[in-house]
Amino acid sequence: MAQRGPSRATAGDTLAFALDVALPTLGKGVLIRRRSVLALADRMETDARAIRTLTRLRSTYGNRPLQLKLPGRPRVVILSPEDAMEVLDNTSAPFMAASDEKQSALAHFEPGVSLASRGAERCNRRSFNEQVLASEEVSHPCAAAFEAIIDDELGPLLLPPDGRLDWDTFSEAWFRVVRRVVLGEGARDDKKLSRQLAELRKAANWAFLRPRRKRLLKAFYRRLDTHLERAEPGSLASRVAASASPGDAPAHQVAHWLFAYDPAGMAVFRALALLRADPEAYERARKERATEDLGYLRACVMESLRLWPTTPAILRQTGEEADLNGCALVKDSGVIIFAPFFHRGPSAGDIAHRFAPEIWQDGQTVDQRGVFPFSAGPARCPARHLVLMTSAMALRRLIEQQWREESGAVRAGGDMPATLSPYRLTFRPA
């Protein structure tokens, strides 16, 4: 049995964590990005400051989990990659993925999603996700149909009418891809569905601090259900129809897929910037474009996610007393894993700030404990292979054009910025 509890942060160090890590992360938007705040965070390099603060806390308190000096139930920050992986590997017992904070936020637009479920409901809904999303298959059964959609929607971007490809232009095409992949051709132009979901996600950013928009929620699910009832062949909706039972809350799982593909688009756009800043990598990616192999392009997307995690704060909650590598945590402790600290802090070694797609192809990540772009363990993203496949397909289509990136945010041969807003990236045909 564990004999010691976590280290205890002083009030001053708790305040430093709040100001440098928690508030910037919340301010940028957890469920949907706040563009103006993200632009400010980009200029101020807030993730670099967060990493420095956590590095100092680990130097001060050691590797043990650090309990913050806060009222209410305990909040514990993980400071070692070994503890981070132990927590993730032991989800959902004793470390529940459905923390109170997560349930409060997701209740705004997907209360029945597996991420917010516990016990038998979570197991059943997780199984449904894995079946429809083909979680263990590198290439999804609908891969050919999805690639045709991507080629169709992203092809016109290669010669943008106004001569530039910015986030707004890309994201409009990307969401058409997402709606067709998830719901079929009939949802292609249903921008209202995407707007409704965006409004619900904005409310979810405030979690319990904002009342739920019940009328909008009902309207969103009525609209979503009409697409799911069509169950168009070649879409995820067709697989939902073939697999779902009422207890799976299928529409809530689908809402999550629509939501999760938003940050996937950001990863693609950032990956394009990474490739344009590295001529050798760009040429390698272009050579792979002519083959069926997506391995290097997948690695580039993984690097985009490692360098700029789309889920920076991973939350868990102890459902019982827990022993974390010899540290005793009481029941209902909130556990915080700040991904940028592990992806780009001291434990990341020499790859911390450089673009290193090779680590995803040569096995280096086996030794790189604490690098988890899609989380890890039993709660690892069930759509990881599907997202990587479709993102790599999108990247392959985009690099048919020789772009130049105008902002200069990502520089060849230099350290990557700690924070990178996709909204500032602008490409033009070279």
Helices (H) and strands (E) in the chain, counts: 17, 11
Mean pLDDT over residues 214-231, rounded? 98
Distance separating alpha carbons of residues 169 and 152, to the nearest angstrom: 15
> Could you report the per-residue pLDDT of 282-305, keeping only the tens digit for each?
999 999 887 878 999 999 999 999
Mean pLDDT over residues 251-272, rounded? 97
**H or E element, residue 246:** none
Mean pLDDT over residues 121-139, rounded? 96
> Could you report the per-residue pLDDT of 316-330, keeping only the tens digit for each?
999 999 999 999 999
SS3 for 313-347, per residue? EEEEEECCCEEECCEEECCCCEEEEEHHHHHHCHH
pLDDT of residue 290: 78
Single-letter amino acid code for the residue at 96: M
Report in angstroms the alpha-carbon separations of 252 from 59, 123, 385.
43, 15, 20
pLDDT of residue 289: 82
> Could you report the per-residue pLDDT of 346-357, keeping only the tens digit for each?
999 999 999 999
Instruction: Record the tokens describing residue 35, joined without a space.
Output: 């563009």
Is the pLDDT score of 370 beyond 90? Answer: no
Percent of the chain with pLDDT over 90: 91
SS3 for 161-194, per residue? CCCCEEHHHHHHHHHHHHHHHHHCHHHCCCHHHH
Instruction: Find the Cα–Cα–Cα–Cα dihedral 198, 203, 204, 208, rounded to 10°.
Output: -170
pLDDT of residue 90: 95
Question: CB-based contacts of 292: which residues, under 8 Å, 6+ apart?
Answer: none
Local structure of 29: helix, strand or coil: coil
Q: Residue 253 in contact with residue 383, Cβ under 8 Å?
A: no
> pTM for this structure?
0.96
Mean pLDDT over residues 118-128, rounded? 96
pLDDT of residue 156: 96
Phi, psi of 379 (to 5 degrees): -100, 15
The per-residue pLDDT of the chain, averaged, comes to: 95
Find out whether the peptide bond into 81 is cis, omega within 30 degrees of 0: no
Residue 1's pLDDT band, with cuts at 50, 70 and 90, is: very low
Q: What is the DSSP letter of 196?
A: H
Q: What is the DSSP letter of 365?
A: G
pLDDT of residue 367: 61
Residue 230's pLDDT band, with cuts at 50, 70 and 90, is: very high
Phi, psi of 270 (to 5 degrees): -70, -35
